[in-house]
Every structure is written in C-alpha cells, then in structure tokens.
Amino acid sequence: MDTRLQIGCWIGLPSPEAAEIVGGTGFDFAIVDLEHGVAGMETAIRMMMALTATGTPPFVRIPEPSDGWIKRALDAGAAGVIVPRVEDAGTARRLAGFATYGPEGRRGEGTAVARGARWGRDAGGYRSRWRETGGLVLQIESPAGLAVAAEIAAVPGVTQLFFGPSDFSACLGAELADPRVAEAAREVARIARAAGREAGTVTFPGSGFAELAAMGYTHVLGASDIALLVPALDAHLEAARRELGRGQG
C-alpha cells in the first residue's frame, strides 16, 4: 500500500482545460468543486474526462447531501464524492446508503448507461471495483461535527474524514491560526486513524504539509486553480505598471 502523503489540488473554474492543466502537473488527486465552484454536471463530466486522461483521480465535492447529487457524480465517473458539513451519524449512514450498491446500500442501478461503467460496457466490473476502491469523503467542519466524528467514521461505507479548517474557524468566530483549529485538525486525524479511515484536509496557517502528515493525514490540498491564478495575475500587472512607471519617470 502506498503510504506517501497524497497531494491534491482544488479546481473551481468550470473548465476542462483548467482540469487538464492541473492533471498534467502530476497531482495525486484533484477535486472538482461543485459546492463553491460554478460548474454544472455536464461541465464536471468533461473536467473528469480531462483529469482521467492525465492519470489523476477526479473527486467531486457536491453542493448538498442528496441522493441525486451523489448518484450523478459517481455515475459520471468520480473516483469519490465529497460531502460538506456532516454533523451526525444518521446523516452519514444515509449518505453511505446513497453511495453503496445493494444489498448493503440503496444506490440506483444505473451501470448500464453510466460513464463510470464505460457507458455500460463494464457494468459488472465497475460495480465490483466500486466496492473496493470507491470513496465517500465526509467533511467535519464544525464543533458539532467534531463531537460525533468517531460515530461518523464508524459508519460502513465512509472512507475518509475531511477536516475543513475555514468553516471550523468561522464557527468558532476565530482566525485560522487559532490553536483550537490545529487541535481540531489533530483530533480528526486521530479519529480517522482509529477507525481505519483516511484523513484529508487543506493546509492552513501553522499547519503545512509536513505538520499535517505528522498528524496522520493521508490526503492534503494546498493549492487551487483560482487561488493560484488570481494573485499571479495581480502581481504580473502590478510589476508591469511599476516597470512602466520607472521607465517613464
């Protein structure tokens, strides 16, 4: 089993080309964000196609915890689905049911036409592989979620707990650098390890890749297409204007 820390990238732009660029970089995985991103499912499918072509597993963060969103993302070929702000074990069990084929779950039998099953050409193989490799990632983003994280991690079908430091700090009314955020991150990783689950998160002040790996995290994101593009463009234009100002002065 690969024990390296898996390094990922968020993709918020509704662009297969952006996804292809991210995949070509060599990230271990990428997340197509439909919670805060503006892509629809048709565009998300093409983004997944672009990522898959580069060998980068595509995960999809859905905007809400519904049967329809989970089913559509997985049938479209997502390596796993990420559900924001889960705060009770009952919801976790319901979500696991949506993601899991029967008899254990209630995922709809759409393999005859699903892209994930090669448009039906590999229906049986996809169904079997999903039991072994499919991912259901549940985000712990509030003190309420942290309080029941062990119960959530214990639900069959959950593969990863994902700590969301930004929302967690907002719930506290605190800055990201607040020590309580790092302590919560440490606790989510501990709970995930104890349950035999993966642990995912993003870097935040005081907790970079090395610190998070030491906590026990298996999947960490420190980049996003938008977060990298905006400051790079701003810096480029500012530098150009400074250069012209010097040249004309």
Q: Which of 17, 36, 64, 166 is catalytic?
A: 36
d(CA 159, CA 219): 12
- Cβ neighbours of residue 228 under 8 Å, at least 6 residues apart? none
Is 219 catalytic? The answer is no
Residue pair 81/89 in contact by the 8 Å Cβ criterion: no
User: CB burial class (10 A; 0-12, 13-18, 19+) of residue 203?
Assistant: middle
Mind telling me the catalytic residues?
Answer: 36
